[in-house]
Each structure stands twice: as structure tokens, then as C-alpha cells.
Amino acid sequence: MGSTAASFPLDWLERGDGRPAGDLDLAVLLVNTHDLLEDPADRLGDLTWLTSALRRVGHADVAGALTRSDVPRLRSLRTVLRAAFEAPDLKTAAAVLNPQLVKARAVFLIDLPSRPRGAGARFVATPDRTGYAALAARLPAALATHVADNGVGRLGICSSDPCRCAFVDRTRAGTRRYCCTVCNDRYAARAYRRRRRGIGEKD
């Protein structure tokens, strides 16, 4: 999917209109720092890719506060978030996310707009934190809120083997199976070749 720093499919994000990505999108980005279609697969050997991606999606403040010592903790957080994306039911998702929320002391607060005529207030976890502390609280909180509202069926892992990237299914019908258009096209091409081989065998 492209090994350049901060290169990733825009399909991973809810929107690509220049507004800062939401915390749910940041959870997808962190989980997908492990991408089996890349070489090496782990983009968290250092902070280069993640901080570039965070800046690209409007979170330069979080990126700038991360330090090299955060890398092991980010990997651990990534493991927790991936487990939530893979959870088969609400009970499993809760068992994964609740301990992380407690550990991170993810207190929800009303975050007021910075300008009087700006966007409305938001109800978010620990809006005063930045760097790793922000990610450790806000990303599991975003997943927990999403799961509480929508169940686990809208969190997915790409079906285009060997890709195992995560995605949030925001389609109306809830039928998304792939993390991005590239993986969807890759699967369709493989299916077409299988059908062609089947036709050839019959001929």
C-alpha cells in the first residue's frame, strides 16, 4: 500500500476533506501500523511513519509530543485496539477495552470550542492530554463509544488475504469487507482468475 512515510489509503479515513481525523480514524491508523502488505510489515520500528501520518491528518500536536520511549507502549496499545477490532461480540470487546480505559484514566469531559462561533462542544476523553497519554485514552474511548452505539459488527478486518488491516464499516448496509479499494480490487482480480481457470478446465 506504499511504504513512503505517511502513505496510506484514504479509504482508511472517514473523510479526506482536510478536517482533522477523528479518534476512531486514529485508532485505525495505529492498528494499521502493522501491515502485512508492507516490507517490513511493522511500521512502528520507530516513530517516523506514525508521526507523519498524524501530522497529515491534522494532529501535529499529538505527533510532536511523542518520543522514542513511547514506541513499546504504542505497540502494546496497538495490540489492545486490534483485539477490539477482532472481537466477535460486545462481551469480548468490553473485556478488551475496559481495562485499557481504566489504566489510561480516560475521563470524559465536555470540550468547548476554541472560538465562540466555532463548532459545537464535544464529549471526549481527556481533551487536555497530548502525545502518548492522549492516544492511550482517546483511541480506546472512541472504539468503546462506537461499539456501545453500533455493536462490534461495524468494526472489521480486511478479507483480502493476506491483508489484515482494520477498518470501520460506515456503509449504509454494513457490508464492507475490505480496508480499501486496492484490496477490494485485488480480491476481485483473484476471483476473476479463479473463474477463468475453472472455465478453462471445463473446456
pLDDT in tens, 56-101: 999 999 999 999 999 999 999 999 999 999 999 999 999 999 999 9
What is the structure's pLDDT at 3? 47
Q: Is the separation of the CB atoms in 32 and 10 below 8 Å?
A: no
With a cut of 60, say whether residue 2 has pLDDT above it: no
Superfamily name and number for 10-202 = Jann2411-like domain (1.10.3300.10)
E-only strand ranges, the chain: 108-111, 122-125, 155-157, 166-168
Residue-range domain boundaries for the chain: 10-202
Say how far residue 192 (Cα) sits from the centre of its chain. Answer: 30
Give the model confidence (pLDDT) of 23-51 as tens digits. 999 999 999 999 999 999 999 999 999 99
Inter-residue contact 106 to 141 (CB < 8 Å)? yes
